[in-house]
Amino acid sequence: MVETKTFESTSPATGEVLGTLTEADEGAVDRAVETAAAAFEEWRLVPAPRRGEILFRFAHVLEREKDALTDLMTREMGKVKAEAGGDVQEAIDMSYYMAGEGRRLWGQTTPSELQNKFNMSVRAPVGVVGAITPWNFPIAIPSWKLAPALVCGNTVVLKPAEDTPLLAQRFVELLTEAGLPEGVVQIVHGYGQTTGAALVRDRRVPVITFTGSRETGIAVTKSAADNLKHVHLELGGKNAIIVMDDADLDLAVEGIVWSAFGTSGQRCTAASRVIAHADVYDALAKRLVERAESMRLGPGWEDDTDIGPVINKAAIEKIHSYTQIGTGEGAKLLTGGEIASDGDLAKGFYYRPTVFADVEAGMRIAQEEIFGPTTALIRVGDFDEAIRVANGIKYGLSSSIFTRDVNRAFRAMRDLQAGITYINAGTTGAEVHLPFGGTKDTGNGHREAGQAALDVFTEWKSIYVDYSGKLQRAQIDNQEPGA
């Protein structure tokens, strides 16, 4: 008899055990895929507007459950209340948006080169989608993947992060409550090396959508290649905020604080670099340090908390290792750079907001994703240097510039090598009706959100209807001599 393995979900704020989950072995993944594959044959035939109506009801259910999900997120993931509520709101917005796609799912019509013939293209579902989601947006990101997959007529096997399984479980329960038919979404809990790997290998899963680290994304791609799976990757970022000499510094500081320290820096869009013009560098650094040192660390459910815990022990150890790397490289630590261990903070994984100055663009802390509340100040002499430094990394997710010069703003929009660019705002805050994703090592060219997300979960089918009553041959020289 095979022993069933379990794992615990614990609060990063206190270490409290919140629940115990069964780890899905290869057999459990096999059964989940089999169930989803069987459900696909019925679900794909449900009219897309009806599928959209289920997502519309799901959005209503999420609205009803928003406070409860917010509270659970502050405990299981660690976000502060406002951010946790925003995470849930993204799922609400995405569900409403994709519900509307049930009445569009636009294809194309084109004229034919032949008489009495009609041409069109339509979207067709692919089959079973394997969705592997991270812990940092435990309600929003599942919605980014599942809502478009479902409205397109696919079924889904969801493998959520092992750090936030209770939130994922509740997400699926609420989908069922909204009227999703049995079997359409299956959830398997466990670790990436076992449960996730089994899902990626399964031949019956033609699409894998994954959000996580660059290294894991490469491993997923290699594993999926043997079966020519469609692979959608959302990976890392090393995002920069440029602050020019004509910027509104108060506004820039607000944008930097929110982007660098929000979610304790645990966002792929976090601003872990600040590229500042030499004329404002010192003033900006002073204001940023003052703001960082005024921020209160604590559990996310307390109203006066500014920064919650990071997700686990491995995360805090990685973040602290980069502080040591930065000082070793010669960067100047202005504030933070330490694990908070006073009082009740010692029960959780809290890291003080960290600001480095005198950072050179080639330093590791300016090149590698830290995924914590750390940002690096880089001094530049002019706009062109700022753009070069911003682009001088292997990632290309989000970018930002603070300037009052409209010409600089438009040049930045053109020249910044990133999937997202903000003008006079931070690097976070994407809206669900525009594509989300990046260039270079941030992914593999696909996008989430907006209509672009539909391309991940559909195949194009071209259809030709000939009503001439005779065989007409396209691309054959049928022209009469001299015509």
Show the tokens assigned to 383. Answer: 């706009």
Nearest to 301 by CA among 89, 19, 84, 140: 84
Q: Contact, 102 vs 53, CB < 8 A?
A: yes
**Token pair 């010692």 in the structure block, residue:** 346
268 catalytic per annotation = yes
Beta pairing, strands 339-340 & 350-351: antiparallel
Give the three-class secondary structure for 14. coil
Crossing angle (nearest 10°) for helices 81-101 and 66-76:
130
How many residues does the structure list for the chain? 483
Rounded Cα distance between 388 and 202, Å, is 43
Nearest partner of 390 among 357, 419, 366, judged by Cα: 366
Calpha distance 444→153 (Å, rounded)? 23
Catalytic (active site) residue 152: no
Dist CA 257 CA 361 (whole Å): 21
For 107, list phi and psi in degrees, rounded to 5. Answer: -110, -150
Q: E strands within 362-481?
A: 374-380, 395-396, 398-402, 420-423, 439-440, 458-466
Q: Among 101, 234, 369, 448, which one carries the catalytic annotation?
A: 234
Sign of CA dihedral 315, 317, 322, 323: positive
Beta bridge partners of 185: 156
Catalytic residue among 90, 162, 268, 369: 268
What is the chain's Cα-based Rg?
Answer: 24
User: Beta strands of 216-340 (E only): which ranges?
Assistant: 230-234, 239-243, 271-277, 332-335, 339-340
Contact 274, 257 (CB under 8 A): no
Grouping H, G, I as helix, E, B as strand and the rest as coil, residue 204 is coil
CA distance linking residue 376 with residue 363, whole number of Å? 10
Q: Do 130 and 200 form a contact (C-beta atoms < 8 A)?
A: yes
> What is d(CA 362, CA 120) in angstroms, rounded to the nearest whole number?
51
Interstrand relation of 398-402 and 239-243 (parallel, antiparallel or unpaired): parallel
| CB contact at 8 A, 133 and 160 | yes
Where do we find the tokens 């999937």? 419
Catalytic residue ranges: 234, 268
